[in-house]
Structure 1
Amino acid sequence: MTNSNTVRRKSSRTPLAITIGVLVVLLIAFFVFASVYSEVLWFEQLGFLNVLLTQWFASAGFFVAGFIAMAVPVWLSIEIAYRRRPVYARLSSQLDRYQEIIEPLRRLLTFGVPALLGLFAGISTATRWQTTMLYVNSTPTGTVDPQFGLDISFFLFELPFYQAVIGLFSAIILLSAIAALLTSYVYGSISVAKRELRVAKAARIQLAILGAVYIALQGVSIWVDQFATLTSASGLMTGADYADVNAKIPGLQILSVVAILVALLFVVTAFTGRWRLPVVGTALLVVTGLVLSMGYPWVVQRFVVAPSERSLEAPYIARNIDMTREAYGVANVQEIPYNATTDATPGALRADAETTASIRIIDPALVTASFAQLEQFKQYYSFPAELDVDRYQIDGKSQDSVVAVRELNQAGIGSSQSWYNNTVVYTHGYGLVAAYGTENSTDGQPVFLEAGIPTSGSLGTFEPRVYFGEKSPQYSIVGGAAGSSPVELDYPAAGDTNQQTYTTFAGDGGPKLDNIFKRLVYALKFQSEEIILSDAVSNDSQILYDRDPRTRVAKVAPYLTLDSDPYPSVVDGKMVWIIDGYTTSQNYPYSRVESLSAAISDSATTSSTFAIDNVNYIRNSVKATVDAYDGKVTLYAWDENDAVLKTWQKIYPANTKPMSEMSGDLLSHVRYPADLFKAQRAILGQYHVTDAGSFYSRDDAWITPNNPTAVDTSVFQPPYYLTMQAPGQDAPAYSIYSTFIPDATGTNSRNVLTGYLVADSDAGSTAGKPSAGYGTLRLLTLPKDVTVPGPGQVQNNFNADPNVSKELNLLSQGSTNVLKGNLLTLPVGGGLLYVQPVYVQSTGNTSYPLLKKILVAFGDKIAFQDTLPQALDVLFGGNSGVGTPTKATDTPSTDTGTTTTTPNAALNAALQDAKSAIADREAARIAGDWTAFGAADARLTAALDRALAASM
């Protein structure tokens, strides 16, 4: 009775367990489906569904192909070995036990092992579908390599495919051979009796054929390896050197032929049954491989190349130089000798008046707090830590500007945070704030050319709402108030009124939640049941997510490496994010491999992650825009001659628009990308040398100087965007520049300028066609017999100057801090001019930096004044040639030192009083006379106030 009840209870639990299991599986499946379907909706709404489907179908197709390619041969190998087993084989007791264990599981193992191996192979091939697609759609470059005379496309697209295919089929044949060997052994086709190996005829033929195919594949692999020498890095350079060309490559060719001959010996064995020849041949192949691929090249390198390395390697170094410069787009850099003077003569800047008038004195890395205090308005708005630099046509003149988007910061909502507020009410930022880069107010504040809420200024009428930005919320639900009262907070009240302005999103920015099924999908995706339950969600609602501009471009153009710094611009009445996209490769022959993350790392960009970090080829092939209002992504083919982009365009047809469709307004805001420029400057630090002998000796290697104004002075100085007229240019142009100093360490390090790299970043404003000068690289090389101070040395001169340091110490007394802005370098006046803004900021919670002083240097002379024209006039003997002469009270100092600061009687008197008060206060402290201490402290405060007023 007990047993019957137990059985009945167990049987009654079985359907329940099955039901629960089915429900769990269905729930997991629906979660997976929700994730997949939401991706389909996102890509479909954006108009790039073909990108997602291409990836899915290609991955699925290559998974199936990889699964079949592995599973079928392994299964066939096991099946043949089993079916051809000897029926009356005499087995050992040990093999009998093996068969007893395996036989019940034989069918499972026969299909399960190949299926498991096929699964791994399928996953591997699915992740490499791009390699095959690039091979199938490869586009010739029109350039050939210097060793084999093959088009560069062979190395970019074909060689990786051949290597992957050979690797896959080698693994398939090897695993098939192992499966056949084990099956044959277990079922008696292979046996060892009295130290004698016996192999049945069927097993012999099968294993010999598999061995022949495997060795033949290794022969093909060895033949292909000779081409890979052109992309391998040795200690001296990337690419085949003397030992590779004269020893390793011929050795690989011979070894490949030997491998094919050994493969034929295996075929012979399949018919003759004699294993001695293939075994000896295989041993010979291994020994020959060691000799030809390692031993002989080592001997040539050690005894032929090493004694005469400079002369023997010269032709191959020249290849490396030429191909590296071509791969990084610096082959046509204009090298201009610049005989820089260090004498600041009167009127020296007269010919460069336009450049000096365009010098940016507003540091985008320091004025974030100024923007926040003056233009944030509410805590739920924010500005980025470092602002961007752009330019606009103001009154018919190009004006460098410091710009930032007023983005939404939901953390500032405080105690009002709720799902409703975070998702439905606080949905977007508002407005672009822009300040003149060359101006500041009398009290040191930025001068805005576009500001306020509602936004107003010189940029005309444009859509100010920012639903898609770098700091946008994870997701928002918008547009649901169509036909009813708006609920999305547009912007706060102006002035002292409490009235808020609300809006309803009217664009097409995200998938519509027009049925309960879609709401359920997104409720699961974002783990939020309110999406289903809230009455704020209607059939008119749209859900916005994946809102970061880089994220959106990365998803629709997965083949691009994106610049680390998207920047906002007002273009054609819209606010858009402009993002530079690069096509990259690490397979360009003879080109040096560079870590992209290391190349772009400096004080402005501390870290960035790239899908492919080590590259030796890069092109700015695409300019992308993301509409800040509706998130629309537009891709423009910028480098229409790039073979890599052309190949991807075949894979993703119609996703990129031609450059001819770019408007003139958009072109006027396109710039030469910073990350590409950084990679190029990293290359040109060594590859500005085109002489193989000098390159070998590294006697003229350069490096980017460290940023002397950064908190961590061990990081590189970033490049800066400025409007300037560099030598070789006919007129000032928006440009990006960087400097070089000698690449030396320890006591040999010299912080003197050796080079100045500038790229024309002005694409003009003619629709569909960039200006002829855009992208031109100019490298100013300074003479070795003239010492031009580098940024670090100039900053030291600023810090060490007694008059400057005295005023800086004065400005930093009490509750204020002195902040030194970006140290800019400009090739003007026949030399190099350094300009650095100096900000003062109090330590209060609501304080922000105020631009109070300008430091300038030319050669060893420096000046420190309230405005840039004053500082330049002082520096150049009262007549810089860019402004009116200084007043009589502002004439240069007659001190015999190099400083040309201006004497100020009131300032000196105040400083003397402050010095006396400090001494009296210290004496009172030591004596314990706190009454006298308080009186001295009051005198000190008063003296500092007078000194500060006198210095303004």
Structure 2
Amino acid sequence: FLKKLSLYLSGPVFLVSGLYWSVYWKEYLLFSNAQDYGLKDPIFGRDVSFYMFKLSFVNILLNILLVTLILMFVFLCIYYLIRGGVAFVERLFSIHRPVKVHLGVLLSIIILILTAKLYTGRFGLLFSEHRVLYGASYTDVYARLPVMNIMIVVGLATALGVLVMINVRKPLLLLLPVGVFIVLYFVGLGVYPGLLQNFKVTPNELELESPFIKHHIKFTREGFDLERIKAKPFEPEGSLTAEDIEKNLPTIKNIRLWDEEPLLKTYSQLQQIRTYYRFVDVDNDRYVINGRYRQVMLSPRELSYEDLPGKSWINEKLVYTHGIGLAMGPVSGITREGLPEFYIKDIPPVSSVGLKVTRPEIYYGENTNEYVIARTKVKEFSYPTKEGNVYTHYEGKGGVVLNSFFKRLLFAAKFGSLKIVLSSDITRESRIIYYRNILERAQRLAPFLAYD
């Protein structure tokens, strides 16, 4: 029975484990394609590529092995207890020799992996955060690191001791290295570094931490590629004339005067137009306007789903599907009233320069992340006018075409809404548009990049 049970359980266990650990594919690719950087850290003397590409995957691998072996050890203990390999006879603890060998070897391997994790944990000292620096400090190098090295030796001795104890009838001797390990962990890594920091380092912080601060500065400059920058003194000479200004007029006209935060508030007050629209932030861009290259500030008018009138599934998913237009003006343009000058404004967008907005609908943005379904039997709200609302249909190629019942069923399960399956307004030409937040969209398209 137990053999059949273990066989039946092994499949789901390995499947779940595979799905769980498969998320670390990026770390594996970095590990397997690592290249030397050519710069070594000053503490361990390893190339920095080890920390950038390899260390993370090594730790993941050790965690996988540790979790797997611990689960295996627990399962075997239960298995042998049921089968009689481990028994209590007249208040005495009895283990058959084959069982003792099996469990002893497995326990020794577990201790070795824990020791290996302790070994790689030393490299984590280079990522320590302190009040005055980021990286290994005096206390890390002269207190925590020596203690960790001693603990590694104790861990190896404990693993060896487990193997020796297989043939010895005094397993309590194992408590000695285990006790030393526990004491070192709490005293050596907890109490001792604190005492050293408070009574030696803090009173002489500048002197003792100076070498480590230099490491911090050096590797910060290297990380941001600042080593190539050469500082040169600049002494302005001469005087500014009207002729100089005239020669550099295009540059002067592109000097930004508006600040993003107050400009965003002004755009919201003057150009939001309806309560269910939002300007999320203001960006800088450049366009050729009337034959001149001009720097502009602009903000798209996105839809705010929290402020929609008459909330319902049809309104939120089929009718109100997009924002509309934008507000845009020069970085230095000011009206007589002290307000920002507009190149493009209003709904529908009106341009006072050569730029034209031919498709003002905004389906993707920074404030938008609700899924919507376009090209349905329901007209999509485009924008309001004095005469009434104007409606449109999605003309883009984004989204997934819902041309089968199976697709509708899958998306109904994904978004937790049976209406995707049951709605008669959805046709075979309808498209479901999701992951509409541009940052999340970029992260899903290129998950191997780091984003600000």
Which TM-score band applies after superposition, normalised by the shorter structure?
Answer: 0.7 to 0.9
Corresponding residue for residue 432 of structure 1: 326
Matching residue within 274, 278, 283 for 1:388: 283
Query: CA contact under 8 A between 1:368 and 1:383: conserved in structure 2?
Result: no
State the distance in 1 between where 2:420 and 2:25 align: 40
Query: CA contact under 8 A between 1:431 and 1:455: conserved in structure 2?
Result: no
| 1:361 shift after superposition | 4.2
Query: CA contact under 8 A between 1:366 and 1:386: conserved in structure 2?
Result: no
* Bigger-Rg structure (1/2): 1
Instruction: Check 1:147–1:397 CA distance in 2 against 1; reply closer, same or farther (3 A cut).
Output: farther
1:556 aligns with 2:445: yes
State the distance in 1 between where 2:299 and 2:42 align: 48
| 1:330 shift after superposition | 5.2
1:330-383: CA deviation from partner (whole Å, max 9, x where unpaired): 55666677999xxxxx9799978867654544454345565467655x637734
| 1:190 shift after superposition | 4.8
| 1:199 shift after superposition | 4.1
CA RMSD of aligned residues (A): 4.6
Instruction: Check 1:391–1:107 CA distance in 2 against 1; reply closer, same or farther (3 A cut).
Output: same
Instruction: Check 1:440–1:302 CA distance in 2 against 1; reply closer, same or farther (3 A cut).
Output: closer
Instruction: Check 1:379–1:238 CA distance in 2 against 1; reply closer, same or farther (3 A cut).
Output: closer
1:136 aligns with 2:53: no
SS at match of 1:440: coil
Instruction: Check 1:256–1:356 CA distance in 2 against 1; reply closer, same or farther (3 A cut).
Output: same
1:640-695: CA deviation from partner (whole Å, max 9, x where unpaired): xxxxxxxxxxxxxxxxxxxxxxxxxxxxxxxxxxxxxxxxxxxxxxxxxxxxxxxx
SS at match of 2:400: coil
1:215 aligns with 2:104: no
State the distance in 2 between where 1:277 and 1:143 align: 46
Q: Which amino acid aligns with 2:207?
A: S
1:379-422: CA deviation from partner (whole Å, max 9, x where unpaired): 3773415433333333454433231223346788756x776666
Query: CA contact under 8 A between 1:519 and 1:532: conserved in structure 2?
Result: no
1:790-809 equivalences in 2 (<5 Å): none
Query: CA contact under 8 A between 1:554 and 1:560: conserved in structure 2?
Result: yes
Q: Which amino acid aligns with 1:557?
A: A
State the distance in 1 between where 2:305 and 2:197 align: 64
State the distance in 2 between where 1:218 and 1:226 align: 13
Range that drifts further, 327-336 or 114-123: 114-123
1:932-947 equivalences in 2 (<5 Å): none
Corresponding residue for residue 680 of structure 1: none
| 1:300 shift after superposition | 6.3
Query: CA contact under 8 A between 2:108 and 2:162: conserved in structure 1?
Result: yes
1:816-895 equivalences in 2 (<5 Å): none
Matching residue within 401, 410, 417 for 1:527: 417
1:252 aligns with 2:151: no
Corresponding residue for residue 797 of structure 1: none
Matching residue within 456, 476, 485 for 2:351: 456
**TM-score under structure 2 length normalisation:** 0.75
Corresponding residue for residue 48 of structure 2: 152
Q: Which has the higher helix share?
A: 2
State the distance in 1 between where 2:176 and 2:351 align: 86
Count of aligned positions: 443
Q: Which amino acid aligns with 2:417?
A: Q
The structure with higher relative contact order (CA 8 Å, sep 6+) is 1
SS at match of 1:224: helix
Matching residue within 101, 107, 127 for 1:205: 101
5+ residue gaps in structure 1?
A: 1-104, 341-345, 562-580, 583-952
Query: CA contact under 8 A between 2:408 and 2:420: conserved in structure 1?
Result: no
1:218-239: CA deviation from partner (whole Å, max 9, x where unpaired): 3323322322221223555332
State the distance in 2 between where 1:237 and 1:316 align: 8
SS at match of 2:285: strand
1:313 aligns with 2:313: no
**TM-score under structure 1 length normalisation:** 0.40
1:575-594 equivalences in 2 (<5 Å): 581-582=451-452
State the distance in 2 between where 1:411 and 1:265 align: 64
SS at match of 2:287: strand
| 1:549 shift after superposition | 1.9
Matching residue within 116, 121, 126 for 1:230: 126
1:775-831: CA deviation from partner (whole Å, max 9, x where unpaired): xxxxxxxxxxxxxxxxxxxxxxxxxxxxxxxxxxxxxxxxxxxxxxxxxxxxxxxxx
| 1:318 shift after superposition | 0.8
SS at match of 1:210: helix
Corresponding residue for residue 436 of structure 2: 547
Instruction: Check 1:193–1:334 CA distance in 2 against 1; reply closer, same or farther (3 A cut).
Output: farther
State the distance in 2 between where 1:172 and 1:112 align: 17
| 1:516 shift after superposition | 4.2
Q: Which amino acid aligns with 2:55?
A: L
Query: CA contact under 8 A between 2:276 and 2:308: conserved in structure 1?
Result: no
Query: CA contact under 8 A between 2:280 and 2:299: conserved in structure 1?
Result: no
1:214-613 equivalences in 2 (<5 Å): 214-234=110-130, 236-246=132-142, 248-271=144-167, 275=171, 278-286=174-182, 308-328=204-224, 357-367=253-263, 371=267, 375=271, 379=274, 382-384=277-279, 386-408=281-303, 414=309, 424=318, 426-452=320-346, 453=348, 455-465=350-360, 466-472=362-368, 474-479=370-375, 487-488=379-380, 490=382, 498=387, 503-522=392-411, 525=415, 527=417, 529=419, 532-534=422-424, 537-561=426-450, 581-582=451-452
State the distance in 1 between where 2:430 and 2:85 align: 71
SS at match of 1:149: coil
1:165 aligns with 2:61: yes
Instruction: Check 1:109–1:447 CA distance in 2 against 1; reply closer, same or farther (3 A cut).
Output: same
1:683-733: CA deviation from partner (whole Å, max 9, x where unpaired): xxxxxxxxxxxxxxxxxxxxxxxxxxxxxxxxxxxxxxxxxxxxxxxxxxx
State the distance in 2 between where 1:304 and 1:373 align: 59
Identical aligned pairs, as a percentage?
27
State the distance in 1 between where 2:81 and 2:313 align: 67
Instruction: Check 1:464–1:244 CA distance in 2 against 1; reply closer, same or farther (3 A cut).
Output: same
Query: CA contact under 8 A between 1:441 and 1:447: conserved in structure 2?
Result: yes
